[in-house]
Structures are given as C-alpha cells and as structure tokens.
Amino acid sequence: MADAGDAKIVGVHEHPETSGSRALSFKEPEEAGQELQDDVDIARIERVYKKIDRRIIPAFWILYFLCSAIRSNVGLAQTMNESAGHDLEQVLHLTSKQTSTALALFYVAYVVFDFPSNLVMTRLSPRVWMSRIVLAVGIIGACFAAVKAAWSLLLLRFLLGVVIAGMWPGMAYYLTLFYPPSRTGKRIGQYFTAAQVSAAVVGLVSAGFQKMDGLGGLVGFQWMFLIYGLCAIVLGFILLWWLPDRPLPPGEPRVRSGLLKWLPATPPVLTGEDAEVHYRDLTRVYHPRRWTIKDLAMVLIDWRLWPL
C-alpha cells in the first residue's frame, strides 16, 4: 500500500494542478524530447522559407513594378509636355476615340489570352515563362517610343495585352510551387504593393522625363517608353538566371530538354537538408497529379470564377 508521500507524487503527475500558487507537471522524457524536436523543426522550416523569400519576392516586386509602369505609361504620355505640343495625342495626331480604343484594346487582348497563357505555363518551365513575359513586355514597351501613327499605337497596345496576359495568375501559380496554401497569401500581398507604389512613383518620375524633351531628337514620352522598356528587358534576362526552377524530390536529377538545354541553368534555391525539409513540408499538403479535361471543365463551370 502506497504511503501518503507516494500518493502525493502520483497525484501531481496525473493532475497538473496542486494546492498553492505554483502549478507543477511532470512529463515523460520522450514527450519532452518530442516537443523540443517539434520546436526545432518549426524553426528550421521558417528559415527555409525565408531563403525562398529572398530569392523570389524581391524579384517579383520589381517585375510587377515595371510591368505596371509600362502598362500605365500611355496615360501619362497623353499629358507630358502638352504645352510644347509634344504630348502623345498631338505628336501622333490622335482623336479622343482613337486614344480610347488603344486603351481598351489592351484589356481585350489581356482577357482573351490570359487563360491560354497560364495553361502553357503549367506545361513549360515556369521561371522561363515568367522571364518571357517580362522580356516581351520590355520589348513592346520600348517599341512605343517609335510609334508614328495611330495604327502603330493600336497594334502595340494590343500586343502588350497579349504578352502581359497571364502575368498576375502566373505569379500566383509560381508561388504555389514553393509555398503551401497557408503561406501564399502573405507573399502575394508583399509583391502586390508594387502596383500601388508604381502608380504613385511613375507620375513623379515622368516629370524628369519631361525635362528630357528634345534630347537626342526624342520627345519626353518617347524617352519614358524607351527607358522603362530597356529596364524590363534587362530584368527579363536576369530573371532567367535568378528565378529558381520548380522544386523536385531530393536527389532527383533535373532533365533539361529542348530549348532549355540552351538556356542558363539557375542555381538551386535550396540544397541538402534544407531541400529535404522543404519537400516534406510541401508534400504534407500537396498531392500532385496531372490535370485532365474533366478538371478543366470543373473550373469553367465554377460560377465563383466568372465574376472575377
């Protein structure tokens, strides 16, 4: 029969509350070790995702900033150096209807080509496709500096909508390759601020481009189109090397076929144990499988997507 002291110890072990101001609890060594291991794993996972953040989020922020600026430059060009007769409408002899049509053509192309652009991205290398978008936007944006008539403005605005289509959902899809759903929202919010900053900054920067009016035989808005376009082209080539490829199971070799063999290989964002920790965390929530026509049909008939 256990004495009173033994009974007290057993009671404390089974019921954490004891009389007095202090509460005591006893845990088995295995339980304490497991909790410590869980804390270590959580800290390790957080460090892994911070490494991925440093590789992707700043690049996406700059990407989104430049593409947003190039998309909105036509609106600024309508008023730049207006008093000198060097604004977009006076230089190209545009009517208000032609200007409105040019602005609308961008959105027509954007809506039509958004869906096929993202389908292609799921089949090809996402980092190459994102780089392609930025390169194409930069080339088209720089070509705006050479417009001489209304038809060329209409054509370039339509082409800009074609090449930039799929950028926003493509960026979100790219994040899902590296982050579980619980972590993507915060990252999207981080680079989404680039659009707001761009809207505030490009108007101020345009004042500097107005000072360049007449320099080298170009008017102010032509310098604006040219410089923003060249910056996007340079960024597109940098992203081709900087953005990581989609993660593979640790130890699985990456097969480079077709045109990918001629493109620069991107350094892996994670190696060794970090790559294993990241892959285990992703497979905990993702169960990848190839999409089918049935999956596509289910997406198209989802009424919640149509208002978007």
Q: For 84-139, what is each residue's pLDDT tens digit?
A: 889 899 999 999 899 999 999 999 999 999 888 888 888 888 899 999 999 999 99
Average pLDDT along the chain: 83
CA distance linking residue 176 with residue 210, whole number of Å: 42
Cα Rg for the chain, rounded, in angstroms? 28
- The whole-number average pLDDT for the span 163-173 is 91
CB atoms within 10 A of CB 101: 16
The predicted structure's pLDDT at residue 288: 60
The yes-or-no verdict on residue 63 having pLDDT over 80 is yes
Residue 66 pLDDT class (50, 70, 90 cuts): very high
Q: Residue 14: pLDDT band by 50, 70, 90 thresholds?
A: very low
Bigger pLDDT: 253 or 220? 220
Flag whether pLDDT at 17 surpasses 50: no
pTM, whole model, 2 decimals? 0.78
State how far the Cα of 305 lies from the Cα of 303, in Å rounded to an integer: 5
State the pLDDT at residue 284: 79
Residue 160 predicted with pLDDT over 60: yes
**Is 25 exposed, middle or buried, given 0-12, 13-18 or 19+ CB atoms closer than 10 A?**
exposed
Q: Are 288 and 177 in contact (CB under 8 A)?
A: no
Question: Quick one: pLDDT at residue 253?
Answer: 76
For residue 195, what are its two tokens? Answer: 């659009």
What whole-number percentage of the chain has pLDDT above 90? 45
64 pLDDT band, cuts 50/70/90, is: very high
Q: What is the pLDDT of residue 308?
A: 59
What's the rounded Cα separation, in Å, for the pair 235 and 67? 11
Please choose, from the candidates 140, 132, 118, the residue with its C-alpha nearest in 3D space to the C-alpha of residue 71.
140
CATH number of 56-243: 1.20.1250.20
For the chain, give every domain's residue range: 56-243
pLDDT by residue (tens digit) across 176-231? 999 998 899 999 999 999 999 998 898 888 889 999 988 988 999 999 999 999 99
